Homo-oligomer: A and B are copies of this chain.
Amino acid sequence: MTAEIWDVIIVGAGLSGLSAAHLLKKRDAALKMLILEGKDRVGGRTVSIDIPAANGTDRWDFGGQWVGSTQTHILELIEELGLETYPQFNTGKKVHHMGGPCAKVRTYKTSIPALSPLVLLDLTQLIWKIDRLCATVCVRDPLMTPNSVELDSMTLHSYFDQNAWTKELKEEMGVASRSVFGIEPSQMSLLFFLMYSAAAGGVLQLLESSPGCAQESKIKGGTQQLSERLADRIGWKNVRLGSAVTAIWQDGEWARVKTATSSYLCRAVIVTCPPHLAAKIDYQPALPSQRQYLTQNMPVGHMIKFVITYQTAFWKEKGFSGEIVAGSSTDCPFCVTFDATNPSGSAALVGFIAGQGASQWTSKEVGERRKAVLSSLVKYLGPEAASFIHYEEKDWAKEDYSGGCPVNVMAPGLLTYYHPSLRKPCGRIRWAGTETATQWCGYMSGAVQAGQRAALEVLAELCPLTLTEEEQEAVLQSQCNEDPPLQTQPSRPAHLYARKSVIIAALMVTGALALAQRHDALQKVKLYVTNMFVAAKSTIF
């Protein structure tokens, strides 16, 4: 078999691979690049699908969908590709259900969740503690974090167990872990969680939909357009779909990249697929054992994402925002929903069955899941929820060449023993994918950052003159983990700090006062603090 010869082969046509190719092409149009993708589409963990809706059909994202205003890499790409964002709708009552199927369903309107005063105080102290720890984490080299071995030796569950005072908050944190990672707190290293939070600028940034946070805005027309437009620019002739890479063999002269039917030679390879899939490729010579141990043991999250379309956004008419948060102790299959009404006006809700919920629900029939989802929506939003147009879902664990979503996390011990191999090139192979990002790791923005970083590494090798001195320096640094702590975190806008202080202060006052008051006084205090918070918020933004 005669092998085709290329300069660079990229494994995976998701955002990371296509961003790498895009940068390579911009710097050196003469570079011969080939992107090999197992799926029959581009986009990786982003996919936008047309489904029946109020005005015929409309398109929704069934993978990554949100961007935030501190996610500079994805925002620049959105602008460059001529796409637009619009804010996540979050006005109105939010529903909150924890503490068992029969516990009271609470609603609230501010950013302060409807928790009892004690749990609010508990939340405040816990977030404060986590943020203090986050501030000590070096994202680029987590082993430089003070006390890193200890932090990496315990699960996030153990940390919550030791540092959250109330059972309710522990349940709340389970929901947070499931919603963000698709993974239970028991399956993740505390240090990994801190690193991931620090890469996003803090733990609240992961959880909220307000400015600077992960769920702030969406892309008009869907996120898969990013990959499609990138492929347009790179040239579709350079993208081969249905071409899963099975082997990468290297010798002194070439890297040979194989699929089931073809074989290609090249001078550099960028592997962008998630670690558990990268682990399945046959590498010759074998990768260093540290690298093997790392990719063989990074659990990928499990999420089933669903969209339900309606004739009208009845929840808005009733004063609800569409946001529901439900704990694992309730009968509710999903952990969180949001309003998903399109800019065109097609009404919809989006939700996630994640972590242990996904584990339990994945083997059931779609009809059973739909029934359980609708039954919970009726319970939380009213009987109108039953009259839907269409229910569509995607179980990412069953998606070929994904096998899980949104991100691979690290179990305890992995950072301590194997982290240096996360981004370290192996011969002609460079590593990208959002898991290797240092800013918004795990998000679309991280995928772009990682792809661009890997592209710079390849350019530094193949055509170093296309790099600025600054970029050459960055390539060197990214390969030797020499950055001092804290420099590696994305800069946080000052208003985020101010906002966080206000939230924490408000929570603290509510909790502390409420604990010292009787029930009737409590209502007044809550009202007072809520008003104070709303006032502060409108002043700042």
Q: Which residues of A contact B (CB under 8 A)?
A: 149, 152-155, 157-158, 161, 184-187, 276, 279-280, 286, 288-290, 292-293, 296-300, 302, 356, 359, 362-363, 395, 397-398, 400, 403-404, 411-414, 416-418
The reply to whether B411 and A187 form a contact with Cβ atoms under 8 Å apart is yes
The 10 closest A-B pairs by CB, nearest first: A153-B186, A187-B413, A289-B397, A411-B411, A186-B413, A153-B157, A297-B299, A154-B158, A158-B158, A186-B412
How many angstroms from the CA of A289 to the CA of B416 in the assembled complex?
28
A183 (CB) vs chain B CBs: closest residue: B413
Q: Which residue of B lies closest to A362 (CB)?
A: B289
A293-B289 in contact given A154-B157, A280-B280, A413-B187 (Cβ < 8 Å): no
22 A-B pairs in the complex with CB atoms less than 8 angstroms apart = A149-B186, A153-B186, A154-B155, A154-B157, A154-B158, A154-B161, A154-B186, A155-B413, A157-B412, A186-B413, A187-B414, A276-B296, A279-B280, A289-B302, A289-B398, A289-B404, A290-B362, A293-B359, A293-B397, A293-B404, A296-B300, A356-B416
Which chain B residue lies CB-closest to A150? B161
Q: Which residues of chain B have C-beta atoms less than 8 A from A152's C-beta? A: 186
Measured in the bound complex, the distance between the Cα atoms of B411 and A290 in whole Å is: 17
Whether A290 lies near B417 (C-beta < 8 A) is no
Residues of B within 8 A of A186 (CB): 149, 152-154, 412-413, 416
Q: A296 to B293, Cβ gap below 8 A?
A: no
State A395–B293 Cα separation when bound (angstroms).
Answer: 14
Bound Cα distance from A383 to B482, whole angstroms? 41
The residue of chain B having its C-beta at the shortest distance from the C-beta of A286 within the complex is B398
Residues on B with beta carbons closer than 8 Å to the beta carbon of A157 = 153-154, 412
Chain B residues whose C-beta falls within 8 Å of the C-beta of A280 in the assembled complex:
279-280
